[in-house]
Structure 1
């Protein structure tokens, strides 16, 4: 968990608002969540790299994506640990979570959960909003 953090990329709020549509802004800059089963990447199996929609930083690879049936794209690991950062999230009473943010621009991506029993190489599920990412196909 990180307490003090300065993003590598900063922009004034007005620039983020002009760059992102309303939903992108609400999720990426205000830690919102898109509705489950509505995102364009929930069931996508296209090979490629998922980038931060706000800054273009590479975050996840399709090889780490799996079907969790939770309503959002799920990954068992980020591309590299230095691509994301983690923040304790106590916004839901009685249910502490770990928020996942882009390490480059500090945009909200989603949450990571542990110990859910998925048959993956890690015991983690990165539950990421589709609207927080762009998929760059490998072919």
Structure 2
């Protein structure tokens, strides 16, 4: 799928959903709008998730780290949960998350062909 088509579809749905958590493995890939990060991190912590990898958005990373620090101080997020920010070019898991997000986006638009192949491996939770 061309990247611009995927991004256009994601932007369209972003107005209607806070975000999508994709949970196929112990390592959880995340696609979410900034305002949903607090609820997302709290939920992942409650579920005992050990590692969260956000795709680095250089200008947003510092604000995300500040939110994480505040959540840890308030005991909303476990101090043992590792949260990192990586470049998509250095973490293949982020690329895979983009592919899955594209399949979910098309599924939400009524074209479930690609999502059906992945559905047994995925749990979607609104956050």
TM-score by length of 1: 0.27
Structure showing greater relative contact order (alpha-carbon pairs closer than 8 Å, 6 or more residues apart): 2
TM-score (norm 2): 0.28
| Structure with greater proportional strand content | 1
